[in-house]
Amino acid sequence: MTHWQLMHDAEAVARETCRRISTAADAAIQDHGYFSLVLAGGTTPKRAYELLVQTEQQWDRWHLYYGDERCLPVDDIERNSVMVATTGLADKVSQHHIMPAEQGAEDGAESYADIIDRVLPFDMVLLGIGEDGHTASLFPGHAWPEKNVIPVHHSPKPPSDRISLSIAALQQSHDLLILVTGASKADAVRQWRAGGDLPVARVATATHTQVLIDTSASSD
């Protein structure tokens, strides 16, 4: 069952995201001594990461992973890992497992799978949603191999080549939090809530899915 929480605006979504990550981290560290967090890419989560950096955490117990990455040079401004670095989060967490997408989709996916296959399940997965209902780099109309980490080509959202965690891998998490803000996502949300077979809807079938959505993205 997906739980939807309507928030006033993107800042409220960012603050609630920060609060939930902090709560999940405390619980995970208390339970098993570490916190494994899969970061969402794009622009939506950036403010939440900036807020998180201002909080007190047991950072040495944190492990950061990525839901997806664009196949670009490591210092390219369009990389999700560069976006994370600009928020300061990468400076807080030494166990920061960047997707080696600069190796190319196939080689990078293979390398990252060596890590991911050993660390599942995650404690928390963060995801965004695209205007077409994609999430991570799982795009509508694409077929995906039965693996945890997959190479992506012909992405409709540049760049064409990417690496993504699979639906199965993204669902193997104690918490799954999907962040949805802005009017540009309203159509995808309408399709999702009407039962559309979108990648985000497929991932959200996981029992522990929570959606934080602002009024601009919600047609409620």
The residues of the shown chain that bind ligand 6PG, judged by CB under 6 A, are 40-44, 68, 70, 80, 128, 130, 134-137, 157
Between the CA of residue 176 and those of 109, 116, 173, what are the distances in Å?
Answer: 22, 17, 6
Smaller CB distance to ligand 6PG: residue 142 or 157?
A: 157
Q: Taking the complex as a whole, how short is the minimal distance between the CB of residue 12 and ligand 6PG, in angstroms?
A: 16
Nearest to 123 by CA among 219, 30, 7: 30
Question: CA-CA distance, 217 to 219, in Å (whole number)?
Answer: 7
Q: Taking the complex as a whole, how short is the minimal distance between the CB of residue 100 and ligand 6PG, in angstroms?
A: 15
Structure tokens at 105: 């989709």
Smaller CB distance to ligand 6PG: residue 28 or 127?
A: 127
Smaller CB distance to ligand 6PG: residue 113 or 165?
A: 165
Q: Taking the complex as a whole, how short is the minimal distance between the CB of residue 52 and ligand 6PG, in angstroms?
A: 16
H helices of the chain, where?
A: 10-32, 46-53, 80-87, 89-92, 105-119, 167-171, 186-193, 199-203
Q: Taking the complex as a whole, how short is the minimal distance between the CB of residue 185 and ligand 6PG, in angstroms?
A: 7
Smaller CB distance to ligand 6PG: residue 17 or 80?
A: 80
Q: Taking the complex as a whole, how short is the minimal distance between the CB of residue 90 and ligand 6PG, in angstroms?
A: 16
Q: Taking the complex as a whole, how short is the minimal distance between the CB of residue 54 and ligand 6PG, in angstroms?
A: 21
CB-CB neighbours of 92 under 10 Å: 17
Smaller CB distance to ligand 6PG: residue 57 or 160?
A: 160
Residue 63 near residue 118 (C-beta atoms within 8 A): no
Residue 60 near residue 29 (C-beta atoms within 8 A): no
Following CA atoms 4, 6, 12, 18 in sequence, which dihedral angle do they give, to the nearest 10 degrees?
Answer: -10
Smaller CB distance to ligand 6PG: residue 59 or 140?
A: 140
